[in-house]
Structure formats: C-alpha cells, structure tokens
Amino acid sequence: MPNELGRDLNCSANLASFCESSYPEAAAEGPLVRVLAVNNYPALERFERLRACLIGNGAAVTSAEWNEVSSRMFDSYDGVALSGSPDMMSEPKIQAKYEKEIDAIIDTKVPVLGVCFGHQMMACAFGSKVVKDGRHVLEMVRTTVLAEDPLFRGLPRSLMLLESRHEVVESLPEGFQLLAKSATSEIATMKHATRPLYGVQFHPERYTNENPDGNAVVGNFVRLLK
C-alpha cells in the first residue's frame, strides 16, 4: 500500500484510512483479570485503542506511562500489555530512555504482550537487535501461524493483521520461539520458551469489520491470564 501520510513514524502513523471497527469485542467469561497497560506513545489517542480492546475482552485495565513502570509494578497485575510508539528502538538513546521498562520486562514474573514497539523492546531486552527495514509498512498483512499456542486459539493458520512500522527485530532472541511470520515480517510473533512473554510485530487492537483477527488475539491473551 503506498504511503501517502508524509510522516516518518514507527507504529503510530496516522491510521485514519483504517476505519475503527464496530466488531464487538468478546468479553472473557468469569472474574475480570487485572492488566497493566503501558503507554509508550507521546499522546493518548493511539494508546486508548489498545486499552479499549483489552477492556472489551474482559480485562480490568490500569494505565501507566512508560517512565513510571518497574518489575514490582508489573508483578502486582495478572498481566501486562506494552503499546506501540513513534520512537525507534534501534537507536541507543531510545534504548536508554526505556531502560526501566526493559528491565521490568526482563525481571517480571507475569505474562507480557508487547505490541509493535513493545515487541521490539522485548527483543532488545533479551539481546536481539532492532534494525531499520528500509520501508514504511502501513497495511493489513497476511500473517501465517507457524505453531500452536493459546495466543492463537480458535483462529485459522492464515490471519490478516495490521502492521505499522519502520523497524523490525533482526533475529529471534535467545530462548524465544517463533510463532508466526507475515508477508513483511519474518518475526511477526514470538514467545519465550519457558516464560509467558509474547511479542507481536502487528497491532492487534487495530482490527476492522473485514479483518477482526487482531481482536481475537487480544481476547486470547486476556484469557490466558486466568
């Protein structure tokens, strides 16, 4: 899809051309799980979509800014979701900026879902490089599930999910397994082999009526916290 937005952003480009879906979130059954949603955006607009998607899938959500977090804070919730960001994780100054959040990812004992920039941050936390891709991806992308996992429970092997990015994880971090790849990202979804840490290069919260798969991914993450 041609990029006509005229803005050099990673994971937070103006997605106005993608209509927000009226597809209803499927609330999880039973008591609400407590999810900490971490905002890595400079403004709340993009973050609010992730927060609303978690709530719609049965989570009681508490929001925190990136500079407020710690592993102790993470561990006081049932799970954590890390948002996208316009920042570039390939840059050392950005890695230094998010040092507290990176340390919290490494030390936490609870499940974590890293979305786009959050996925790249998780990879960086466990020793992988994030690199420029040479293109700006902003489109619904065909994504192929490679391994069975609760994150994709009830979904077909072939999904349509929104990617909005300039950078990618260069290689799978040590101790992680590859769960999915896409037409534009070799590491579209990864999971730690022994810990419930998930990274997704796509934006599951940015689903549409025509392509609702992302909402189901968020719902599955919420359900695995029970």
Residue 153's nearest CA partner among 217, 211, 80, 205 is: 217
Judge whether 162 and 152 are in contact, CB under 8 Å.
Answer: no
Q: How many CA atoms lie within 13 A of 133 on its CB side?
A: 24
Strands 79-82, 33-39: pairing kind: parallel
Q: Name the one residue in this structure whose structure tokens are 């008591």.
A: 31
Q: Which residues are catalytic?
A: 116, 203, 205
Give me the torsion for CA of 131, 132, 133, 139, rounded to 10°: 110
User: What domains does the chain contain, in order, with CATH numbers?
Assistant: 33-223 (3.40.50.880)
β partners of residue 119: none
Compute the distance between CA of residue 72 and CA of residue 58 in angstroms, rounded to an integer.
Answer: 24
Judge whether 124 and 163 are in contact, CB under 8 Å.
Answer: no
Ordered per-residue pLDDT tens for the chain, 226 residues: 333 333 333 444 344 444 444 344 444 456 799 999 999 999 899 999 999 999 999 999 999 999 999 999 999 999 999 999 999 999 999 999 999 999 999 999 999 999 999 999 999 999 999 999 888 888 899 999 999 999 999 999 999 999 999 999 999 999 999 999 999 999 999 999 999 999 999 999 999 999 999 999 999 999 999 9
133 contacts: CB under 8 Å, gap ≥ 6 = 165, 166, 167, 168
**Three-state secondary structure call for residue 51:** helix
Threshold 0.75, pTM exceeds: yes
